[in-house]
Structure 1
């Protein structure tokens, strides 16, 4: 720049304030910038001030040399710069020179620190932003390992840059370890196969037979390389999603290039000793992780597509062909996927280029989609997705589909939930067949109360919330659903806790109503019990209609009768396999008329009744804490009515059940003294006025002993 003798001052000052000060920055010579302060003056009053513009009344009152800011070499105002396209043989013109604030365009460092400033074949001093050659070099320098992805610079944020930096450091470490692997280790064959020949032990020589066992051989072990990669992958799992994705796919590119020397390896049975065994392990881990990342994270479209495209470009060796197209994950905005989630496509199939295409995804993708939709409470979409999706692991997919009834319950469609237990395909049985006793009891509580766990875990513990918009199942539908599940699931059918929970819910156990139903007429109980046999047979056959009594005024009593008859049928078949029946008795609460029906149904076969009473008597002693808790939950009349019920039967086997009940009551009498005075007094009166006199008429040793115990506490 040529030196100028004049300075042009342009004022942007507005207003009529004559005292206003303006600041101007002007250039006087190359590399020298001056700051001038010009003040509006009354020239007529002060003729000694240097006047710049008489018309405006401006004069310079102060000046200061400005600071030169850091700049690229080609923008320097002190040193001339000659632009060339791709000159690297040496400095052009005076490009080698630089001022204190000049930076290298490629390295982004001060020119004085650039190692390649005037190095032949590099010559960074010639670099500038108008050259495609130098811009490409700058992009590579800035992106480091990210250059393999061909990102636009505007798309590279701090997460991607961090991933690229870590990947670049890893590649250097990996290259060093891989080179060591390819060099191998020199050792003797006897280090692998111990020589058993005695010649060299006795004579310190090798005979012709064992000489080959002591020659030097070159062995290779990929294990150190495996450890380096494994350590880096552990590190990626702690990084943010974008960073981790770049690191993982970069690792895949590097390890897929690893070859296996033709010579022997240390341990062929070790999966880490050769690339052909170790690389597929890493690829499975990397691919599964990338699949989950693409589903669980809202990557911007450019990154989503870039990762898929780069993965597709990887050259897979023969031992990794299974991973071909493994990263073809559909985005959440894909038309095929969205049509399924919105319920517009219920078959999971579409026509594409004249061919039928089925909705199919790898299991890690399926699992990640389920996880994300659960977190977002998109239960409708989740049900639609699971009903049509197909994947490579049918057993794991079936486990996910088994939660479909739960998802129906989560958004209040209890009718669909009840139906979905029994839906099956040609490849698998229905969901009801695979329910565990715990799951069955949780489902009963959900369907009976219209509440559900606050989380997506099918668990009775934790917080439960009311399902908004949900309409409770009718009692008859719940009855049919619960019984049909028991009939198709052998494990549930013989589980006493499942039956006791079913009895409880039909005694209004989960509602705010009283747990005592009205005692129906004896004729109604008898006729409904007779009718129950055919109803249960129909339910086993899949016929789900219920006759008139189950829709009458006494429909709740009718359903309890049906459940009682079903439980009696189960006991007739499975009593020999059972060791616990006390929960059945407890489940009835104060509905003693239904409990009497159970005993009447068992009494049709004396052997069945005898076995049941023997197990129950044993349970009362062994599980006395359960019996005590039940007595405490009810009033004193509960014990009175239960003992009276047992004593009212003609069969002595049933009568004798009153003995263990009263024995436990007497032995644990101190437990009941904590109850209120009226409660314990009422129980005291019952024992004194009803039980003891009744026992006077029975002279058996057991009753005599019990009577003596009662007399002592009374």
Structure 2
């Protein structure tokens, strides 16, 4: 029997001995040595509570580094900057707690930013890292095995591989790069430049310095996030939130110089940029992706557990996203809560969400055509970015139209928003024209954008708003929006709407009596003043048998007032004139416009000058309108000009007829009856009328007409 020196007793209950060593050493003693002589002798150590019935020379068994009896171990919670105490040293049987390899084989044993030599089983930080090493990156989320699908495993695998690569790159940043100061700031000392030697003055320019740049780490993280954005939602969420956990641990080198112009050179500048990007992406995914409840809650809980440095406190609670089945949110979407507020634990709570969350909810409800719910949500939600939220709320009238509530849409243009400014104030000319078409026809664009292009659909079962409501709404928008008020094309569309341009072909306005036109025009002046002041009631003529004709008179008088104010700065007015004759003929209303302008000679002269120029420059507009009508339209239009007493208006017939004569070949495709009718009008009405006007222009034009006739 060989001599026994010691016995090693290894505990089989790791983690349950409250910090005590899991190895107990029985030192050599005479009593133990005596047992070699008599194997049946039993020695009991009452102090240790051990009974030894047999012993031999002990061999040191493989053990974790923190259990080593040869080398002292210093326990820390999460120190990864470098070896703590004597932790760097190890014996031949020491194993790495994280890698489950011999300490001599662990490539991260004393690597700054990782330092596996400090790992032990009493630290939550190191336990989490061990779980990652054994079961992958998903272990940090505490998933049940049944919850982990192939998509989550894929994301976890990519995250685990990246974290190791990131640690190596971060370690390079911590170690820095040694270089000469002269490589950054060239030495201009004469001793160096001419004598090729260093002196005391320039010696400082040639010392070695250490540079620290976080940019390579920034680029690595940026590339990984770009990769994550291309993955499926579950994998992307795991990858992004896992990266956030890693970069929040990155600290700036104490010797590093802060460069405010380079946001990638230090962790203090780069990490907040990444956190904003990651947080916004996670917020959108929680809203747009149908994550199962366990994953939805795990992501929120994990994000809340992140330890944020002082420069990232702004992201605290940023992932507190309400699920779609949250009682507070559902009560608002169903119309049961119209205020967006509730009492919670005796305190008033308002529905408030970050803008990326609001934007994502709008996108999802648009895609699902949940326009009623979308209107209810946008009318109560509060947000950290008021201006961007207002841009989303400006589409509320459109969403009303999408489900056929045209009356509410008309009213919503003038309801105050969060910034005490109505939606009508911010409409663009294009949006205004689209809304007029929607409200007049009861049709809407097929998509979720305010666009006149593409397919439009008729909403079955919806009721069109009354003519007087459309009239008041359209004029009030112009009165509060100066950009629209000065836009000729907005007035052109408004005139077309009230000329029934978008109605059935047989739905044509009748020409009222001159007395009715005159009396209604006088009344329209006071009505327009009331509308400008917010009084929206309309007198009896606008609800009579000729209410549509009355509406056109009111619009014409409003257009005349606009021209009185803005003619001096306008460059085009032709669309305004042609609006009275596109598909329908309302020359009587056009005459009213000229009569209203003729009250001021200067205004009429400027208007006619602009119009005459427009006819020559935009001749295709004239030809297109002429092709849409019978020959009587041209006859009525030219007769209107020639019948005016003012020579400035009479002269407008010259450019119109000139365009017709020069483009006569373009009308050959029309029916022979159309050509003959126009030919007869020009020969029997226009030429004789021009015989009475002996100006050079009329004589030249008459000769051209005689040649084609």
State the alpha-carbon separation in 2 of the partners of residues 705 and 487 from structure 1: 45
Q: CA deviation at 1:190?
A: 2.2
Written as runs of structure 1 = structure 2, the 5 A alignment for 1:157-196 is 157-196=149-188
Alignment-derived partner of residue 483 in structure 2: 491
1:662 equivalent in alignment to 2:663? no
Cα distance, 1:139 vs structure 2: 7.3
Q: Distance in 2 between matches of 1:287 and 1:658?
A: 67
* Matched position secondary structure for 2:382: coil
The match for 2:206 among 195, 203, 214 is 214
Quick one: which of 628, 633, 636 aligns to 2:628?
633
Q: Deviations over 1:117-161 (max 9, x none)?
A: x9978999xxxxxxxxxxx99976663011111111111111111
CA contact (8 A) 2:390 2:417 kept: no
Partners in 2 of 1:591 and 1:515 — Cα distance? 13
Equivalent residue number for residue 151 of structure 1: 143
Question: What is residue 710 of structure 1 aligned with on the other side?
Answer: 705
Indicate if the aligned counterparts of 1:290 and 1:327 stay in contact, CA closer than 8 A: yes
Are the aligned partners of 2:131 and 2:140 in contact in 1 as well (CA < 8 Å)?
Answer: no
1:483-526: CA deviation from partner (whole Å, max 9, x where unpaired): 00000000000100000100001011111144641110111111
TM-score by length of 2: 0.81
1:352 is displaced (CA, Å) by: 1.3
Q: Which residue of 1 aligns with 2:383?
A: 391
Equivalent in 680, 695, 702 of residue 700 of structure 1: 695
**Given that residues 189 and 217 in structure 1 are in contact (C-alpha distance below 8 angstroms), is that contact kept between their aligned partners in structure 2?**
yes
1:600 paired residue number = 595
Give me the CA root mean square deviation: 2.3
Answer whether contact 1:507 1:515 (CA < 8 A) is retained.
no
How far off its partner does 1:191 sit? 2.3
CA distance in 1, matches of 2:575, 2:181: 71
User: For residues 121 and 441 of structure 1, what CA distance do their matches in structure 2 show?
Assistant: 72
Structure 2 stretches of 5 or more lacking a match?
A: 1-11, 15-21, 24-59, 63-92, 101-127
1:651 has 2:646 as partner: yes
- Note the C-alpha offset of 1:678: 1.2
Instruction: Verify: 1:683 aligned to 2:678, yes or no.
Output: yes
| DSSP 3-state at the match of 1:217 | strand
TM-superposed deviation, 1:349: 1.4
Corresponding residue for 1:130? none
Paired with 1:536 and 1:675, the residues of 2 have a C-alpha distance of 42
Contact 2:428/2:484, CA 8 A, preserved across alignment: yes
Partner of 1:388, secondary structure, is coil
Tell me, in whole angstroms, the C-alpha distance in 1 between the residues paired with 2:260 and 2:193: 30
Per the alignment, in what secondary structure is the counterpart of residue 383 of structure 2? Answer: coil
Closer, same or farther: CA 352–325 of 1 in aligned 2, 3 Å:
same
From 436, 455, 476, the counterpart of 2:428: 436
Name structure 1 gaps, 5 residues minimum.
1-83, 92-117, 125-135
Deviations 1:540-572 (A, max 9, x none): 011110000011000110000000000000000
- Aligned residues of 2:417 and 2:423 also touching (Cα < 8 A): no
Kept in 2, the 8 Å contact 1:451–1:467? The answer is yes
- Aligned position for 2:334: 342
8 Å contact 2:244–2:278 — kept in the other structure? yes
- For 1:43, the equivalent position in structure 2 comes to none
Task: Determine which of 356, 363, 372 is the counterpart of 1:371.
Answer: 363
Q: State how 1:77-116 maps to structure 2 within 5 Å.
A: none
Distance 1:523 1:268 in 2: 76
What is the rounded CA distance, in whole Å, between the counterparts of 1:537 and 1:170 in structure 2? 69
Moved more, 548-557 or 672-681: 672-681
CA distance in 2, matches of 1:425, 1:663: 52
Query: Where do 1:18-33 residues align within 5 Å?
Result: none
Q: 1:359 aligns with which of 342, 351, 356?
A: 351
Q: For the Cα contact (< 8 Å) 1:362–1:391, is it kept in 2?
A: yes
1:354-389 Cα distance to aligned partner (Å, 9 max, x none): 111121100000000000011111111111111111
* Structure 1 position 168, deviation (Å): 0.4
Pairs within 5 Å for 1:221-620? 221-265=213-257, 268-425=260-417, 427-514=419-506, 516-589=508-581, 590-620=585-615
Aligned ranges for residues 110-129 of structure 1 at < 5 Å?
Answer: none
SS of the residue aligned with 2:198? coil
TM-score, length-scaled by structure 1:
0.81
Answer whether contact 1:221 1:266 (CA < 8 A) is retained: no
**SS in structure 1 at match of 2:343:** strand
Task: Give the direction of change, closer, same or farther, for the CA distance of 1:121–1:566 in structure 2 (3 Å limit).
Answer: closer
Return the offset for 1:668. Answer: 0.9
Mapped contact 2:390–2:418 kept (Cα < 8 A): no
Cα offset, 1:471, TM superposition = 1.0
